[in-house]
Amino acid sequence: MSDQQRPAGVSPPVAAVFASVVFIALSIGGLGVVSLILDADVIPVRGLGAIPGVVGQLLALAAFAGTLWWGLRADPPGYVVAVPCSIAAYLGEVLGIVVGALVSGADPARGLAAASRVALGFPGPVVALAALLAALFGVLLVRARTNGPRWRWEDDDDL
């Protein structure tokens, strides 16, 4: 590349979407694997059903995506934006458990107990680590400056 400007990486909104998909996949997969290894429930409080877990993941996803999109607006974005994304996803998961329990009509004490068990047990750190890795991936997508794949004969210099 002689005097041409290097191409930009993925645009911030697209990177935020890709990183969000990676986050939710890592989060759900990580929770499942760690739950299987430890032979423990993700939400160990009985009688809540699946709604608190689903709402927790949705709130964690929304908090992650919003924080990452905000962080990717910098030019160039720094990798340190992964830390607030991790914290936001962790807090979104914990708050989502409480909201999900209330929405499902469960006892508020059970919802708070479930949220505290998620926050202090293995699920909170698993969600936070998934968010950290996915946010680093999102920043990498924006910062990467590469050309698409090209064959040697496609270069204009050889014509």
What per-residue confidence (pLDDT) applies to 2? Answer: 41
Q: What is the pLDDT of residues 33-44, one digit of tens each?
A: 999 999 999 998
Q: What is the pLDDT of residues 18-30, one digit of tens each?
A: 999 999 999 999 9
SS3 122: coil
For residue 106, give the amino acid letter.
A
Average pLDDT for the chain: 89
pLDDT cut 90: percent of the chain above it: 71
- By the 10 Å C-beta count (0-12 exposed, 13-18 middle, 19+ buried), 3 is classed as exposed
